[in-house]
A and B are shown apart, each in its own frame.
Chain A
Amino acid sequence: MTTTTPQAQATPPQGPERQRMPLTWRQRLGRLDVKLSPYLYIAPFWIVFAVVGLFPIVYTAFIAFQDWDLVRNTGTYTGFENFQFVLQDREFWLSLRNTFSIFLLSSVPQVIIATFIAAMLDKNIRAKTFWRMGVLLPYVVAPVAVALIFSNMFGDRYGLINSLLNDIGIDSIRWHVDVIPSHFAIATMVNFRWTGYNALILLAAMQAIPRDLYEAAAIDGAGTLRRFFSVTLPQIRPTMIFVIITSTIGGLQIFDEPRMYDTNGQGGSNHQWETITLYLYNTGWGQFNFGRAAAVAWILFLIIVAFGLLNFLVTQRFIASDAGTAPKKPKKVTK
């Protein structure tokens, strides 16, 4: 196919026209088909994507510099005023603190537990599909539903957690009043939903590790734990970074859980658990200040980009150095 068409294309101008003439119509059609088809295939996607994906992203930058009038649906240019206001707003800094705190409380335990569960699933267990499906179950439940269940379990007065704590002689914790307890409760919701999902991703990476590496390590005298730290962890490093970065991006955007954590949905009476996205929502659809909300969206975006990069550098270095230092210590085989 590829060899015939260029010839046909090259010859017609001076070549024997009679041979080519009857073909040209179909050839032209065919060539048009080859040239146009790719664009026709991507066009439906691109048209929709440009309108609902790209345009809003670009337009946010425009709105962020405007004082937006909701009635006329236009704005007046105000320079950096929106950004200035947001950056001087105490509520913004509180929501930034909350976002980071919730994010740390969710992503760190999540990655550790997910790695552990993945290592368990990576063993030659019976009923593999059952266990794999079991750990994924929470993922299909809506965050809103998870939030309602957990905000009930973490109830201040009659919640399950507090009554269990009381049973073992610990005073009730004010989950919906104090800052860190509320972050802990919200982080638990996130962990509940995502740990199993991430475990499966890490499991896939573990399964791609050649089995003879383990056997070589075992012959060298490495026990189960040693094999995990010296073979498994270094080998799943890229996937680990992937999981950490995606959970960063997701964690910084958290909205459903804090919104549903109490009935007011404002992030607590003193903004104890108001996140940046919740702040954005309250600015945009509580105060209907779209210019400011757009500015918050941009700040959030820049934070995510910065944090993603930082995260990438740190995790890469951390895990790399972890893999590099393998102190040679003779160790007994613990079966």
Chain B
Amino acid sequence: MTTITNPLKRTKQGAAAVSTMRPGWFVYASLAVFLIASVFPFYWSFLIASGDRFTINDPNMSWWPGGNFLENASTVINNPAVNFWKALSNSIIVSTTMAVSTVVLSTLAGYAFAKLRFKGSGPLLVAVVATMAVPVQLGIVPLYILMQKFGWTGSIGAVIIPGLVTAFGVFWMTQYISQSLPTELIEAARVDGCSMIRTFWHVGLPAARPAAAMLFLFTFVTSWNNFMWPYIVLDSTNPTLPVSLSILQANYFVDYSLVLAGVLLATVPLLLLFMFAGRQLVSGIMAGAVKG
């Protein structure tokens, strides 16, 4: 008898608490281990980058940072082959232009696909979505030939132009607008005499703003980190940050304290962005998951 009643009693208490109870130490311990594993490589880089060229070979290497980080960083910045400031400004220009253009063009197109009825909208949208699964490498050879023909290789225009739009951006905005903007609102604006563009401006745009902000962030991060295409189309005199990191490695492969100082320098801008917008990135990923 006791064996039957006892579990029952316990489950009732447990059941009510399943979703509200505070978890035990195991949960926090697992998360903490994961978090440490995520942060440790950066700390390790800082250890090496704040030492000198012998730090890495030192069997008794200290777990406490040395004092040479700023010196190493300035060596990297002042090295003419690395072109640090040029790379930084190029990265800022490239990522900002690509993010702004993707957001503007995707919002316009997404609004049209989601809320306006026009001939061919179905097939056109399908064509966009279908290309999302196509790897970038498929178009890379013709794109290079195209850029060469126009004489754009070596300039950051050659990096920016292929990234002005993304199929994902249109898909994302179409999904969001069709779910979050009631068609009645658009009709009401039209009845009140708004032209199409005013309706877009005063009704469509405000509704699309949260998704647009997330699209901006993701496009910015992706283009900031993008390596293969800039690496192909740019040369060492006019690099973006990832490309200049590859130059740095080729130049200093013996001295890891300089290589990793450069890596940390190039990572700082995105870490700053993450501090301010990490929360939005998190909710963007989670929102996209439910819909996509």
- A: residues with CB less than 8 A from B are 1-2, 30, 33-35, 37-39, 41-42, 44-46, 48-49, 52-57, 59-60, 63, 73, 113, 116-117, 120-121, 123-126, 129, 131-146, 148-150, 152-153, 155, 158, 160, 163, 192, 196-197, 200-205, 207-208, 211, 214-216, 218-221, 227, 239, 242, 249, 252-253, 255-256, 259-260, 263, 265, 277, 280-281, 284-285, 290, 293-294, 297-298, 300-301, 304-305, 308, 332-333, 335
Please report the C-alpha to C-alpha distance between residue A117 and residue B232 in the assembled complex, in whole angstroms: 37
Q: Which of A145, A158, A218 contacts B245 (CB 8 A)?
A: A145
Contact yes or no, A42 B227, CB < 8 A: no
Chain A residues in 8 Å Cβ range of B92? none
Chain A residues in 8 Å Cβ range of B285? 136, 197, 200-201, 204
Contact yes or no, A153 B141, CB < 8 A: no
Contact yes or no, A200 B289, CB < 8 A: yes
- Can you name 19 A-B residue pairings with CB atoms under 8 Å? A45-B108, A53-B131, A53-B167, A54-B131, A56-B143, A73-B148, A124-B23, A125-B31, A135-B38, A140-B278, A144-B227, A192-B41, A204-B287, A204-B290, A218-B14, A221-B11, A253-B135, A290-B144, A297-B139
User: Is B1 interfacial (CB 8 A cutoff)?
Assistant: no
Q: Which of A42, A252, A256 contacts B113 (CB 8 A)?
A: A42
User: Is B77 interfacial (CB 8 A cutoff)?
Assistant: no
Ordered nearest first, which 3 A-B pairs have the shortest CB separation? Answer: A56-B139, A37-B196, A204-B286
Known: A133-B278, A136-B282. A290 touches B141 (CB 8 A): yes
Chain B residues in 8 Å Cβ range of A41? 108-109, 111-112, 116, 200
Contact yes or no, A45 B27, CB < 8 A: no
Chain B residues in 8 Å Cβ range of A73? 145, 148-149
Chain B residues in 8 Å Cβ range of A152? 45, 48, 56, 256, 259-260
Interface string of B34-65 (1 = CB under 8 A from A): 11011101101100100000001101000000
Known: A52-B165, A124-B22. A45 touches B245 (CB 8 A): no
Q: In the assembled complex, how far is the CB of residue A230 from the closest CB belonging to chain B, in whole angstroms?
A: 14
Please report the C-alpha to C-alpha distance between residue A153 and residue B79 in the assembled complex, in whole angstroms: 25
Interface of A is mostly: helix
Contact yes or no, B15 A135, CB < 8 A: no
Q: A52-B161, A298-B138, A335-B14 are in contact. List 7 more A-B contacts (CB 8 A).
A: A1-B190, A38-B121, A56-B141, A133-B278, A143-B225, A149-B45, A201-B286
Chain A residues in 8 Å Cβ range of B231? 259
Q: Which of B11, B28, B45, B245 contacts A125 (CB 8 A)?
A: B28
Please report which residues of chain B, range 223-276, place their CB below 8 angstroms from some CB of chain A when the two chains form the complex.
224-225, 227-228, 231-232, 241-242, 245-246, 249-250, 253, 256, 259-260, 263, 266-267, 270-271, 273-274
Please report the C-alpha to C-alpha distance between residue A148 and residue B266 in the assembled complex, in whole angstroms: 12
Contact yes or no, B34 A124, CB < 8 A: no
A131: nearest residue on chain B (CB-CB)?
A: B31
- B: residues with CB less than 8 A from A are 7, 10-12, 14-16, 18-23, 27-28, 30-31, 34-35, 37-39, 41-42, 44-45, 48, 56-57, 59, 105-106, 108-109, 111-113, 116-118, 121, 124, 127-128, 131, 133-146, 148-149, 161-162, 164-165, 167, 170, 187, 190-191, 195-197, 200, 221, 224-225, 227-228, 231-232, 241-242, 245-246, 249-250, 253, 256, 259-260, 263, 266-267, 270-271, 273-274, 278-279, 281-282, 285-290, 292
Please report the C-alpha to C-alpha distance between residue A301 and residue B141 in the assembled complex, in whole angstroms: 14
Contact yes or no, B116 A285, CB < 8 A: no
Known: A143-B227, A153-B41. A1 touches B187 (CB 8 A): yes
Please report the C-alpha to C-alpha distance between residue A332 and residue B171 in the assembled complex, in whole angstroms: 47
Contact yes or no, B131 A132, CB < 8 A: no
Contact yes or no, A140 B109, CB < 8 A: no
Contact yes or no, A221 B7, CB < 8 A: yes
Contact yes or no, B224 A45, CB < 8 A: no
Please report the C-alpha to C-alpha distance between residue A244 and residue B106 in the assembled complex, in whole angstroms: 27
Contact yes or no, B274 A145, CB < 8 A: no
B106: nearest residue on chain A (CB-CB)?
A: A45
Please report the C-alpha to C-alpha distance between residue A263 and residue B255 in the assembled complex, in whole angstroms: 12
Known: A45-B105, A219-B11. A149 touches B44 (CB 8 A): yes
Chain A residues in 8 Å Cβ range of B48? 152
Chain A residues in 8 Å Cβ range of B145? 63, 73, 290
Q: Which of A142, A293, A301 contacts B242 (CB 8 A)?
A: A142
Known: A41-B108, A200-B289. A129 touches B282 (CB 8 A): yes
Known: A57-B138, A153-B41. A333 touches B7 (CB 8 A): yes
Chain A residues in 8 Å Cβ range of B134? 57, 301
Contact yes or no, A121 B135, CB < 8 A: no
Q: In the assembled complex, how far is the CB of residue A243 from the closest CB belonging to chain B, in whole angstroms?
A: 9
Contact yes or no, B135 A38, CB < 8 A: no
Please report the C-alpha to C-alpha distance between residue A280 and residue B141 in the assembled complex, in whole angstroms: 10
Contact yes or no, A116 B30, CB < 8 A: yes
Contact yes or no, B165 A45, CB < 8 A: yes
B192: nearest residue on chain A (CB-CB)?
A: A1
Q: In the assembled complex, how far is the CB of residue B38 from the closest CB belonging to chain A, in whole angstroms?
A: 5
B48: nearest residue on chain A (CB-CB)?
A: A152
Q: In the assembled complex, how far is the CB of residue A316 from the closest CB belonging to chain B, in whole angstroms?
A: 17
Chain B residues in 8 Å Cβ range of A1? 187, 190-191
Contact yes or no, A215 B15, CB < 8 A: yes
Known: A53-B167, A263-B249. A158 touches B57 (CB 8 A): yes
Contact yes or no, B142 A59, CB < 8 A: yes
